[in-house]
Each structure stands twice: as C-alpha cells, then as structure tokens.
A and B are shown apart, each in its own frame.
Chain A
C-alpha cells in the first residue's frame, strides 16, 4: 500500500504563494489518480483538486479555481499544489489522498497552511 507524506505548509501573508508537496512511497504512485483535500480549523473536509494518472484530466473546486494549480511528477513519485493569491479562508490542513474505487483510500498526515498578516 502506498504511503503519503505532505510538506510545504507554513505561515504566509494574504496574497502570497506556497507550494505543497506530497511524496509517495511503497507502491506504484503513477497508477493512482490523486486528490488534495483541505480542512479549515474546526470545520469539515473540503475537496480542493484532483489529477489523473497521466495529468490529462485536472479538476478544481470553484473556491480555488484560477488560483491553485495541481501537478504531479510520476518519475519522482510526487504530487504538488501551487497556491497563489492566498486568502485567509485558505487557512487549513491540506491532505493528499489516493483515489481508489469510488473512495479516497489512503491519506497523508496533512500539512498546515496559515494565511495571516
């Protein structure tokens, strides 16, 4: 089974940019569609973006469309989320997750993004 480790979170000012990474190990990363899901403090889960195995299909939640860019590097077993024009409401724990049969079956431990001046 794949293991996922996110990194790249931190404190950033409104309007700033941040790039999150998700490193996969233990299985064949390239065979999984991948997703980013976030959770604001004390709130529920919110899907952010997904990318197909070969990067041919990419989708975004309306709340991040035009500001966030998902990408992957199968040779490096890595998933990325470039976040631009960050807002206070983007403050959250960001999880990467593999996509199984109609389920997000493996999740990382999350990385925290705080947007504040």
Chain B
C-alpha cells in the first residue's frame, strides 16, 4: 500500500519559516494537499492540488510537489500556526494520509 512519511515534529521561532516535508514514491506525479489540525478541532485544508490556497487561508502558507517529496512552507510563522499538519495524496482513487507533523512555535 502507498505510504506518505512526514517528520514527527518541526520547531520554529515566530516570524521564521517552517518547512514540512512529505515523502512518497513518485509523489510528484500525484496531487498533494495539506491539512492543519489544532487540538480538539477537525482538520482544515491549507493547501490543495500541490500549491493552491483555499479562500481564507493566509498567504504565508505555500506548497510545492516534485519528485518524491511535497513540501508545505509557512513563511513568517505565527503562534496561531502551532498545530498538527498532515499531507494527503490519492492512490488508486482513495485518499492516503501522511504520518503527521507537529509544528511547535517556540
């Protein structure tokens, strides 16, 4: 079965850039999306189709996807960005989630 691997944790100072990677076999040939989940809340889409932002998502969130790695970048990280982040791609028509990354704003 298809697997997506993320680092368990990423730490960043306020105002700095956080980068979260998501690795999977030939992931660049698929669309990747990213979800933000805060404690006790449902996941929210922050990036879809590799690099598109839904309405209401701040411009500091951006995405890329090439080769075997998709990347979510948070520029000028704010305290409110502290959350768990999950990548997701589609394999054989069904969603596959990454292992998740906890972003801590120091």
Contact = CB atoms under 8 A, between A and B. Distances in A.
Contacts of B61: none
A45 B4 CA distance: 12
Assign chain A's interface to a size class.
20 to 34
Nearest to A50: B94
Chain B, interface size category, equals: 20 to 34
Given A45-B43, A47-B95, A105 B54 contact: yes
Nearest to B42: A107
Contacts of B97: 37, 44-47
A35 interface: yes
Contacts of B10: none
Contact of B33 (A35, A62, A102, A107): A102
Given A103-B48, A105-B54, A35 B100 contact: no
A44 B86 contact: yes
Nearest to B44: A107
Contacts of B44: 107
B21 to A, nearest CB: 16
A47 B96 contact: yes
A109 interface: yes
Interface string A25-36: 000000000010
A62 B1 CA distance: 10
Interface of A: 35, 37, 44-47, 50, 57, 59, 61-62, 95, 100-105, 107-110
Given A59-B94, A104-B35, 17 more contacts: A45-B37, A45-B97, A47-B95, A50-B95, A57-B93, A62-B1, A95-B42, A95-B43, A101-B48, A102-B33, A102-B49, A103-B49, A103-B88, A104-B33, A104-B45, A105-B48, A109-B42
